[in-house]
Chains A and B, each alone.
Chain A
Amino acid sequence: MQKDHSIFSKEEEVLNIAESILHQKDIQLEVLLKEYKGLFKNYKKLLRQTKTVTRVSDNQQRNLSEILDRMGRYVSYQLFKKITHEKGKVEIKTQRKKLTVFFSDLKDFSYTSSHMEGEALSEFLNSYLEIMTQIVIKWGGTLDKYMGDAIMVFFGDPEFTSDEEHALGCVKMAIEMREKMKDLRRKWYDLGYQEPLHFRMGIATGYCTVGNFGSSERMDYTIIGTPVNLASRLETAADADEVFISHETWSYVKDKVICEPPEKLHLKGFHHQILAHKVLGLRDEKYKTVTIEDEEKGVDMKIDFSKVSKKELITMIDNLDIETASGD
């Protein structure tokens, strides 16, 4: 049995006998009946085995699909695709790539969370991360990890388009997150959280080492390098609900994004001064729409400069019939 190295060798042998009988002339009824019985018995067995193998195989495929579905929730969509589509061995392998790295965290969250019950804290944090993750997915970022309330994302790997697109996608993602945060603050306030939560974001572009880090038993697909540290430090240096971008990131997005004049920062771990640009909003080329937001000062404006000039706008503000706090 199984000597000719096919799992169906026995079945093939039975078929060969049946076929040879078909070619025989003047076959005795007794022989024919004997071979027919053999064929019938083996067909019955094969049908039974086929049914079982099909059921077992279907079960395994269903399980595999469920496992993949579950696994997809633990890693980014891009990384999931890399794992499931890439052939060959999984090994400790890294490469250098220019990436745009994003960091965010909730300001003073440790203090806020110390006043919250565990259940409320996890519900609160999960709802925040869920919404922010949807925005990351929308802009095609690779979600590297959550670290408590902090989020680390990078653009440029596994899917590479262009350095400009990665930087711009990342900044647009940050702007959308900031918009969403306003809604969340209102929602949390209505739900009874009295401390208004704010977050900070930092973005940096540059060469990173990307790939599998760890041991042969357990590895993480992540990135290391100066831009990672820089993005993290810029995030820490940012004011509430502000985005600081590195000078290199700014160079890729300056035509599409409005920033304040750069600030020179002394950041931990960096010996030289770092130029950081505070993102104000998107420069809408088509409609020349500019967004000015400053929650603390109560400013939230969208101005379409295709319809109004700067001079006309200043005149409009001057003509407002209100008393300003400064008395101007």
Chain B
Amino acid sequence: MNNLIIEATKYTPEIVFDREKSLLEIRGKSYPENTSIFYAPVFEWLEEYFENAGDEKITVNMELIYFNSSSSKILMDFCDVLDAAASDGKNIMVNWIYEEDDEDGLEFGEEFQEDLESVTFNLVQKSIG
């Protein structure tokens, strides 16, 4: 199984899912022209990944500066997939990373956090500079 690497564009985030390191990272802005098409490989990769994953610790870093409504729906679906995998016994830790002065980033993280039951969800403040 290959790693999933999607480079950032002006409208889409950088996605780096490293199978060996068990590290899944999404960083940047997310307002793709077609959200579903853009994120389709992410869900396909996840499905295959969780089928083969063992009990290793999986870290998911989500650092999103701006995302549109379609992306927030997809991101919740993404978190639901993680939550479902965690309830199946996978050891998953999600870090929702926001900048020090970004109150909205924190609020969004709290919104996502509320919806999850099995996954460990951390709100991580990133220092500026």
Contact = CB atoms under 8 A, between A and B. Distances in A.
B14 interface: no
B11 interface: no
A7 B73 contact: yes
Given A55-B111, A56-B108, A5 B73 contact: no
Contacts, number: 56
B70 A3 contact: no
Interface stretch (A46-54, A119-127, A307-315): A46-54
Nearest to B39: A2
A255 B69 CA distance: 58
Interface of B: 34-37, 39-40, 43-44, 47, 66, 69-70, 72-74, 76-77, 80-81, 104, 107-108, 111-112, 114-115
Most chain B CB within 10 A, of A49, A55, A56, is at: A56
Majority secondary structure of chain B interface residues (helix, strand, loop or mixed): helix
Contacts of A49: 73, 76-77, 115
A56 B69 contact: yes
Given A49-B76, A53-B69, A57-B69, A5 B111 contact: no
A5 B34 contact: yes
Interface in A138-173: none
A184 B99 CA distance: 45
A258 to B, nearest CB: 56
Given A2-B40, A45-B80, A63-B104, A7 B74 contact: yes
B63 to A, nearest CB: 16
Contacts of A45: 80
5 residue pairs, one from A and one from B, having the closest CB atoms: A1-B43, A5-B36, A56-B72, A2-B40, A57-B69
